[in-house]
Structures are given as structure tokens and as C-alpha cells.
Structure 1
């Protein structure tokens, strides 16, 4: 019987470091993922506002889109929220169909109107590839899908800036200026869709529990 106790104690001594290491790894993963969620929440908030601006001026506003945007703004806990945007969403959601269409049409910008958009990055996620590789495979896939969507957004922003810069060329003919202006509006409309896509991919990560 004593031999069994001795063997059990010996096995426990061997396993304890492994168990402790496993617990520590799980704790470290959760700690990193919590920080990553905070970074993603900030980015989602910023892109939601950018998407709203693009939708109002160049895209298509629907009640479903406004409801999704309101959810993102309501769940954000990182700082001050834009009260004017939230009030706008609330007023649009209770508006009649005729009022909704009229307000949405009145917000549209003319072709050639430029916006100052910036590229976005996720410094914490980008600098912790090892920690990401230790996360569950399905969560890794969600993160990489998000990163691909963000890369597309950044490329589209650069493309929009290039078109906007070309519209300032005084040597352009009126026809070419009109074409560039129309192309710029189309680019902004596409960027609105990309913003929506990224926000959705971020939400799938924020909803994930380790």
C-alpha cells in the first residue's frame, strides 16, 4: 500500500509542473484575448462611425443597417459616444417610410466631394503572432479573416485618396473630372460595404468566449 502512495506521489510530482504550465498558458491566452478584444472593440467603434458617414453620403441606408450600427455603438464601453449619431439613428428608426427615404436622399453628397479617411492597424494583434497561434483554430480563422478584410479596407482608402488627388489636377478636362468624381463616389460606396463587413467580422471575435 505504501508503494502505491509513493508511486502516486511520484506521478503527481511529475504531472504538477505540466498541470501548472497548462493553467498558466490558459490564463495567458485569456489575458491576451481580453486585450485583443479591447483593441478590436475600439476599431469596430471607429469603423462603425466611418461607415455611417460613408453610408449617409455615398451608400445606401437601411433600417437593418442602422439597427446593426446602433448595437455596435451601444455595446461600446471605451469612451465618449457620439450623441448626435445615436440620436440620428433613433430618429431614423422611428421615421415613417416616406420620411426615411426623404432624409436619406437629402444626406447624399454630390460627386467629387472628398472625405479625409485614414488607414487602420491593430498593433497588439499584429505584434503577437505567437499568442494568436496558441488560440483555438476556429478563433485564429476569424482573426485572419478580419485581418484580410482590414487590409482590403486600407487598400481601398489609398485608392480613394489617389482618385481624390487626381480631381485637383487643373489640367483635367471637364469630362475626365466628372468621370473621376463619379469614380470617387463609387469608391466611397464600396468602402461603406467594407466597413460593414469588418464590423461584422470583429463582432464574431468579440462574441467568442475562451
Structure 2
């Protein structure tokens, strides 16, 4: 047996050894694209819904401003990819046309009707977190951005639970009028906080989507 034969045997052995590694690499790359695409879709939808929540919470506390409604419309259009399913875009477009004084007048008019707390639900990231064990295959920046959204969303949900507790207290007839006013003030403060915190999560969501776009461009 010559050296050439030994070389072929060694090459065959090496290819056999590397074949599972190469196959796993190819499968991982394919799955990575699919996972990133679906995480992007989930985060985008989450951000869009939180724009709506942020707007409704701010409106309920009579604190709409010109800059805020501009931001809401810009962000909603950024994440909205189809029909106006939340029927919010038309309202935002109308508010954007109003002057600061007109918005102040609207806030005052709404306040005369009395404060009515908005019912806010908890939000989750089921697909993203179900694939947490796959995150190590993503770029470090992408991993960090996804975890930031998930962690901030967890804080958001804790605040939502507290908002619900305060809201339930408003139906408790055994609580004195003075304490009802205290609870109402807490509801207003909590609603304002959640409205602002939505913006924080939306900003974190943009990091996930921006990171994804950068790598898609460079690929």
C-alpha cells in the first residue's frame, strides 16, 4: 500500500469524522435564520401593542402632549405592517394635527369626565423564551437585546399586577372615601409610570430589530 492509498484512507476517515460537525453547522445556520425571523416578528408585534398601551394610558391620565403623540404615530407606523388592527393610527393622525393648546384643551375636557383606569394585560414572549437555549448561537448583541426586552417586560408585568390590585380596590365599598382618593392617585401615578415604561421596552425592542437588520445587510 503506497502513501497515496494511505492518504486517501486518512482523508476518508477525516471526512467521516467532520461530516456530523459540518452537517450540524449547516442545520444550525438554517435554524438560526428561522429563529431570528420569528423572534423579530414577536418583538415587533410586542412593540406595536405597547405603543397602543402607552398612548391609552397617557390619554386616560389626561397627559397627552404634542411630542408624545408624534412619537406614538412614528413608532406605530414603524412596527405596523398591515391593517390598522388596533384602530389607533387614524386617531393618532388626528391628534398630531392638533396644536399643543388644543391637546391641553382635550386633556381638560377629558378630565372633567373623571379618571377611569385603563385595563392593561400582561405581555409575554413565548416563542423567544421557548428558544432561550438556542440564544448562544446568535450574535452577542442580539442575545443581550432580547434578554433586555424580556427582563424589562417582566418588570412591566409586575407593575401591571399592582395596577390591577389598585383597580380592584376601587370596587371595594368598605374602603373610605379618603382612601379611595389615595387609591385613585396611585392608579394615576402607576398609569403614568407604565406609559413611560412602555417607551423603554419599545426602545429595547428596536435594538433587537436594528441588530437583525444590520446583520441582514452585511450578510
- If the TM-score is normalised by the length of the shorter chain, which range does it land in? 0.7 to 0.9
Give 1:79 shift: 4.9
2:204 is matched with which residue? 201
**Which residue is 2:42 aligned to?**
39
- Count of aligned pairs: 209
Check conservation: 2:156, 2:194, Cα contact below 8 A: yes
Deviation of residue 65 (structure 1)? 2.8
> What is the CA-CA distance between 1:15 and the residue it aligns to?
5.3
1:100 counterpart = 2:103: yes
Give the superposition deviation at 1:51. 1.0
- Tell me what 2:89 maps to: 86
Q: In 1, Cα distance between the equivalents of 2:137 and 2:112?
A: 46
Q: In structure 1, what is the equivalent of residue 142 of structure 2?
A: 139
Which runs of structure 2 are paired with 1:165-184 in the superposition (5 Å)?
165-184=168-187
Residues 164, 109 of structure 1: alpha-carbon distance in 2 compared, 3 angstrom cutoff: farther
Q: Distance in 2 between matches of 1:29 and 1:47?
A: 27
Distance in 1 (alpha carbons) for counterparts of 2:168 and 2:55: 23
CA distance in 1, matches of 2:183, 2:52: 25
Query: In the alignment, which of 149, 154, 159 is matched to residue 157 of structure 2?
Result: 154
For structure 1, the 5+ residue unaligned runs are none
Query: Does the Cα contact within 8 Å between 2:60 and 2:118 map onto a contact in 1?
Result: no
Q: Does 1 or 2 have the higher relative contact order (CA < 8 Å, sep 6+)?
A: 1
After TM superposition, give the deviation of residue 165 of structure 1 in Å: 1.2
Task: Give the corresponding residue for 1:188.
Answer: 191
Q: Distance in 1 between matches of 2:163 and 2:147?
A: 24
> 1:132-174 CA distances to partner (integer Å, 9 max, x unpaired)?
2321122111111111110111111110111111122212221
CA contact (8 A) 1:39 1:124 kept: yes
Of 49, 52, 63, 2:52 maps to 49
Distance 2:84 2:145 in 1: 27
- The answer to whether the 8 A contact 1:59-1:192 is kept is no
State the match for 2:123 in structure 1. 120
Q: TM-score, normalised by structure 1?
A: 0.84
Give the Cα separation in 2 of the matches to 1:135 and 1:95: 44
TM-score normalised to structure 2 length? 0.81
Distance 2:193 2:97 in 1: 27
Structure 2's unaligned 5+ residue stretches are: none
| Aligned pairs for 1:8-27 within 5 A | 13=15, 18-27=21-30
